[in-house]
């Protein structure tokens, strides 16, 4: 009997006239993650089926599908003819050795001769007889459930569990954003959250080579690769801010290093975003987490971005909440590797916590901003993941 995987979708279901656009994007994303694995992908009413794969690939396919935004739940099922004997044969493959069970049935095909209650009763009876006392029915707290779904095409799907999908909206349905990706815990989580709402996310990383090392860069490549599993393809760009940091260090107040560097980062990010067609900038800032993440700090960096919104999905999160999400998306182990990013180079002992705009502008007047941006911009590299 052939295994199939059922995909039920999440919020897409609520879409009205433009549901087709969301479905097509979801289908494209599934095709992308399953590229290279033999399978058929079939749309049914309100769900999809992945079929005709090699049985050994089932787990790999499920792991990949769990990362595709737009899927609410998944189930590993057997597809059979819809007569009760065939359904029973499929149900046997879901049984445990002993314990309690119940049968839940659903009839997509309303012309089917039995009602859902009757299907459950007949199948439950067959299972009890077959188990010879090793299994008992418990409809309230069973140790496992056998589920039957009679489809309109004369087939039945028989399955056990609902596996939690990634939920959210298909990546690509909400536009395109540029994530400022550091090597830390927060920014990959911020990218993941915005991808979950349907944004296609590319990444920009600022480095201070040779003050920062190649391992720091590899770590960022690894983080972008992890994110890319959810975005069905993320591009990573890196840019050197070494000379900018040297100039600030040489000419400006030390306590303004981070504030001034941030403003350069945002300026470069906006230009790069516009160049690649991204419609917003995403960062991993969370209010009050560190000295530069005050309202004044955010005001100072926002004010150099002229045309795009800056999205900060973590702004109201505690560090623990962010760590939980980082663990869940599989980035945490990589994020906590010790390699430094550029913000730690020339770090002042006491950074300005509430920088005043007139002081920021006075410090920036000591720098040739446009030349420094042009120079940094010329160093942008696209990294293959
Ligand atoms: P993260 O955990 O993402 O590194 P953080 O808590 O260390 O964040 P900051 O260093 O203040 O906080 O950085 C705030 C945000 O600025 C980051 O989440 C990221 O979006 C962006 N950022 C910081 N450093 C870099 C960098 N080297 N390259 C790209 N973006 C950066
Ligand atoms: Mg950081």
Which residue's alpha carbon is at the smallest distance from atom 25 of ligand 1?
Answer: 182
* pLDDT averaged over every residue in the chain: 94
Q: Which domains does the chain have, with CATH numbers?
A: 2-164 (3.30.2130.30), 176-384 (3.40.50.620)
Distance 224 CA to ligand 1 centre (A): 14
Quick one: which ligand is closest to 190's CA?
1
Quick one: which ligand is closest to 301's CA?
1
**What would the pLDDT profile of 260-297 be if each residue is shown by its tens digit?**
999 999 999 999 999 999 999 999 999 987 777 889 99
**What would the pLDDT profile of 78-119 be if each residue is shown by its tens digit?**
999 999 999 999 999 999 999 999 999 999 888 999 999 999
Ligand 1 pocket, residue 193 CB under 6 Å: no
163 pLDDT higher than 70: yes
How much is the pLDDT for 46? 78
How much is the pLDDT for 117? 96
Ligand 1 pocket, residue 88 CB under 6 Å: no
Q: Which atom of ligand 1 is nearest to the CA of 188?
A: 3
How much is the pLDDT for 322? 98
What is the mean pLDDT of the segment spanning 210-226?
92
Ligand 1 pocket, residue 184 CB under 6 Å: yes
173 pLDDT higher than 70: yes
Residue 313 or 385, more confident = 313
44 pLDDT higher than 90: no
343 pLDDT higher than 70: no
Range in 120-124, 248-252, 340-344 the model is least confident about: 340-344
Q: Which atom of ligand 1 is nearest to the CA of 206?
A: 28
Name the residue of 284, 286, 344 to mutate for ligand 1: max ligand atoms within 8 A of Cβ: 284
Ligand 1 pocket, residue 292 CB under 6 Å: yes
Q: Which atom of ligand 1 is nearest to the CA of 289?
A: 6
Distance 290 CA to ligand 2 centre (A): 10
14 pLDDT higher than 80: no
Q: How far, in Å, CA of 114 to CA of 64, rounded? A: 36
Which residues, in sequence order, are bridge partners of residue 251? none
16 pLDDT higher than 80: no
Ligand 1 pocket, residue 180 CB under 6 Å: yes
Distance 323 CA to ligand 2 centre (A): 13
């Amino acid at each position: 009997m052939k295994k199939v995987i059922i995909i039920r979708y999440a919020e897409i279901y609520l879409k009205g006239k433009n549901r087709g656009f969301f479905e097509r994007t979801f289908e494209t994303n599934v095709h992308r993650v399953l590229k290279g694995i033999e399978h058929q992908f079939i749309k049914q009413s309100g769900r999809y089926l992945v079929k005709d794969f090699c049985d050994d690939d089932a787990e790999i396919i499920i792991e990949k599908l769990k990362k595709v935004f737009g899927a609410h739940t998944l189930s590993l099922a057997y597809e059979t003819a819809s007569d009760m004997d065939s359904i029973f044969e499929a149900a046997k493959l879901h049984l445990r050795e002993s314990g309690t069970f119940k049968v839940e049935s659903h009839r997509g095909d309303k012309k089917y001769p039995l009602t859902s209650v009757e299907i459950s009763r007949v199948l439950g009876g067959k299972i009890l007889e077959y188990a010879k006392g090793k299994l008992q029915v418990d409809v309230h707290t069973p140790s496992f459930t056998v589920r039957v779904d009679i489809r309109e095409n004369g087939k039945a799907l028989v399955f056990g569990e609902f596996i939690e999908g990634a939920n959210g909206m298909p990546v690509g349905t909400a536009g395109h954003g540029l994530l400022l990706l550091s090597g830390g815990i927060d920014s990959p989580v911020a990218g993941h959250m915005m991808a979950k709402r349907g944004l296609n996310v590319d990444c920009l990383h600022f480095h201070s080579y040779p003050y920062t090392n190649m391992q720091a860069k590899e770590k960022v490549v690894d983080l972008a690769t992890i994110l890319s599993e959810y975005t069905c393809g993320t591009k990573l760009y890196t840019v050197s801010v070494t000379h900018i940091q040297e100039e600030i260090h040489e000419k400006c107040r030390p306590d303004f290093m981070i504030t001034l560097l941030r403003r350069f980062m945002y300026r470069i990010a906006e230009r790069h975003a516009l160049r690649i067609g991204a419609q917003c900038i995403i960062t991993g800032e969370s209010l009050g987490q560190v000295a530069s993440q005050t309202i004044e700090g955010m005001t100072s960096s926002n004010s150099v971005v002229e045309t795009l919104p800056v999205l900060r999905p973590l702004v109201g999160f505690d560090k623990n909440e962010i760590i939980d999400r980082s663990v869940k998306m599989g980035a945490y182990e990589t994020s906590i590797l010790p390699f430094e990013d550029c913000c730690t180079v020339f770090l002042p002992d006491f950074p300005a916590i509430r920088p005043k705009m007139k002081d920021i502008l006075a410090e920036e007047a000591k720098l040739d901003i446009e030349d420094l941006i042009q120079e940094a911009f010329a160093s942008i590299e696209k990294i293959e993941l």
